[in-house]
Amino acid sequence: MRPDPTAISSLLSSAGVDAEVEGTTLGTVFRVALVDALAALIVLREGGHDFRMLADMLGTDTGDGIEITYHLRSFSRDEEVYVKTSLAYDGELPSVWTAFPSALMPEREIAELLGLTLAGHPNPRRLFTTDGIDPLLRKRVPIRTLEEVRDR
């Protein structure tokens, strides 16, 4: 399940991507710069490790910015890796849908719920909520507004 980190690191560096390897409770995590994220995902898919599925994608408000986690799965080698990248609160998230179409809706969800803008997305509109709703998954957005607390 856990791949050999050195093999993946050399694969990533062959594509000119600097990656920091972390072995955490999550699994094997590669931390890359935002500009390298798409290149890293493409080389993981096309390189020998055959990561054909972007199984999951999420964004986290870390307090300093937004951290994006890509969860990739390879069926031929039965391996899973996580690629993490970070951007500022007002940052622009480059879409990876050209490499993995399964990112189309999760990217829209992340953009609306964490208050980011999407770059290169074919349909960069909101997915779930209507215009004007605060980015709900930001830590600064309260779960209830003051009016709702008063009326309870």
Partner 1 sequence: MTDPRDIVSGVGMLSEGTHFVGEPPAGIRRVPTGVDGLSTEHLVINMGPQHPSTHGVLRLLIEVDGEEVVAVEVTLGYLHRGIEKLAEHRRYDQLGTLMDRGDYVSGMHGEQAVALAVERLMEIEIPRKAAWIRTMVAELTRIASHLVWFGTFGLDTGAMGQFLYAMRDREAAVEILEAISGARMMFNYIRPGGVVDDLPAGIDQKILAFCDGFETYLDEHHALLGGNEIFQGRVRGIGVIDRDTALAFALTGPNLRASGLGFDLRRDRPYDAYPELEFDIPVGTTGDSWDRYMVRMEEMRQANRMVRQCIEGMPDGDFKAKVPRVLRPPEGEIYAATESSRGETGVHIVSDGSDTPYRFHYRSGSLHAMQALEEILPGHLLADVVMIVGSTDVMLGEVDR
What is the widest separation between alpha-carbon atoms in the chain? 59
Secondary structure (DSSP) of 62-95: -SSSEEEEEEEEETTTTEEEEEEEEE-TT-EEEP
Of 18, 56, 90, 148, the one binding partner 1 (CB under 8 A) is 56
Of 7, 26, 88, 149, the one binding partner 1 (CB under 8 A) is 26
Q: Does 30 bind partner 1 (CB under 8 A)?
A: no
Q: Is 34 helix (H, G, I), strand (E, B) or coil?
A: helix
Instruction: Write the CB contacts of 17 (distance below 8 Å, at least 6 apart in sequence).
Output: 32, 36, 39, 40, 43
Smallest gap from Cβ 128 to partner 1, in A, equals 4
Stretch that binds partner 1, among 13-21, 32-40, 86-94, 124-132 (CB under 8 A): 124-132
Smallest gap from Cβ 114 to partner 1, in A, equals 11
**Beta-bridge partners for 23:** 28
Q: Does 143 bind partner 1 (CB under 8 A)?
A: yes
**Residue appearing with tokens 């899973």:** 80
Check: CB of residue 71 under 8 Å from CB of residue 51: no
x/- site string to partner 1, residues 78 to 107, per CB under 8 A? x------------------xxxxxx-xxx-
- In this complex, which beta carbon is closest to partner 1, that of residue 6 or of residue 130? 130
Spatial separation of the C-alpha atoms in residues 59 and 91, rounded to whole Å: 13
- What residues make contact with partner 1 under the rule CB under 8 A? 1, 24-27, 46, 52-56, 58, 60-61, 69, 71, 75, 78, 97-102, 104-106, 113, 122-123, 126-130, 136-137, 143
